[in-house]
Amino acid sequence: MSKISEGNYFEDFHLGQVIFHATPRTVTTGDISLYSALYGMRFALQSSDVFAEKSGLLRSPVDDLLVFHIVFGKTVADISINAVANLGYADCRFLASVYPGDTLSATSEVIGLKENSNGRTGNVYVRTRGVNQRGKCVVEYVRWVMVNKRDAASPPPETLIPELPAVVAPENLTIPENLQYGGYDSILSGCGYFWEDYQVGEKISHVDGMTIEAADHMLATRLYQNTAKVHFNLHAMKDGRLGERIVYGGHVISLARGLSFNGLGNGQNILAINGGRHVNPCMAGDTVYAWSEILDKAEIKGRSDVAALRCRLVALKDKSPDAFSYKMDDGKYDPAVFLDLDIWLLLPRRI
């Protein structure tokens, strides 16, 4: 009997199924340094222990997206190893700070299933929770993924598409424990714009671009222990529709987030991902640009030092962000759009 695992196909999932994902991961300062090298992150809270301590934290926390990617990577072997595409995210909340030395584990629950009309694939909806070594949930999110069937003739499951919030309500946002911005230093943060300085409807070009190298995106994906063959195996992918390895969508998210520092440098924390789509595939050699639109602003009850800013973060391929390319007159995305991400950021207020 073979001892290898082929992963789950669409038929292997059932509603209410709970999957405990393998390989707990202790996050180290080495992981953080490599992440910074890959994306050029410059946010002060995650870069400086001194800045973090003056903001009330123990030390610099692990970047929110690094936490997300590590937890996401644990789910791939069970959820999406046989996937055609990751389709979207919703209701993602960052619930507690992670520090070097913390160990992350993940579980997922199947909350929705729908076989597609071609009979060869189906969409699987899962809610994933990442917890630390004390059992405290640090991130929770829903994603849905199109998964191949093992046997196209197998009967379809009961269809259930879960109802998901379009936006994480501001009252459900979690502020990092002990974080205080009463003495916020905007010189050290590198940005003089506070929450009050942004207006709903404002668009911000993040100016800079970053070209993706094959070695970078494969190194990043291995950092997260993401085993999806579409990111690594050129031999398997060369006969596919693109003829090349596809860049992990999270790599594009982190590149766009890194680029967003120029214009949103005081958005130190991502509090939530309201929703997101990987609109077009990305491959090595593509240059990523990014722009943001301010969608909403929300005060935080009981806090005068911080508030939430809702942003649409758009990543573009080989196209200047100054044009703010998004959707065309027919409602379809501009072909240059890679990523459409809706997030809540935490910003300091003027006191």
Q: What is the mean pLDDT of residues 184-202?
A: 97
Most confident of 155-159, 225-229, 313-317: 313-317
C-alpha closest to that of 119 among 81, 144, 151, 159: 151
- State residue 3's pLDDT score: 86
Tokens matching residue 118: 């071609």
Q: What is the pLDDT of residues 172-183, one digit of tens each?
A: 999 999 999 999
Is 80 exceeded by the pLDDT of residue 5?
A: yes
Domains (range + CATH), the chain: 10-155+163-348 (3.10.129.10)
Grade residue 240 by pLDDT with cuts at 50, 70 and 90: confident
What CA–CA distance (Å, rounded) separates 238 from 219?
A: 20
Instruction: Work out the percent of the chain whose per-residue pLDDT is above 70.
Output: 100
- Average pLDDT taken over every residue of the chain: 95
Most confident of 72-86, 108-122, 237-251: 108-122
What CA–CA distance (Å, rounded) separates 248 from 174?
A: 27
What CA–CA distance (Å, rounded) separates 127 from 140?
A: 7
Is 60 exceeded by the pLDDT of residue 310?
A: yes
- Are 87 and 123 in contact by the 8 Å Cβ rule? The answer is yes
C-alpha closest to that of 343 among 292, 306, 280: 292
- Mean pLDDT is lowest, of 51-55, 167-171, 231-235, for 231-235
Grade residue 351 by pLDDT with cuts at 50, 70 and 90: confident
Q: What is the mean pLDDT of residues 273-290?
A: 95
Put simply, whether the predicted model's pTM sits higher than 0.85 gets the answer yes
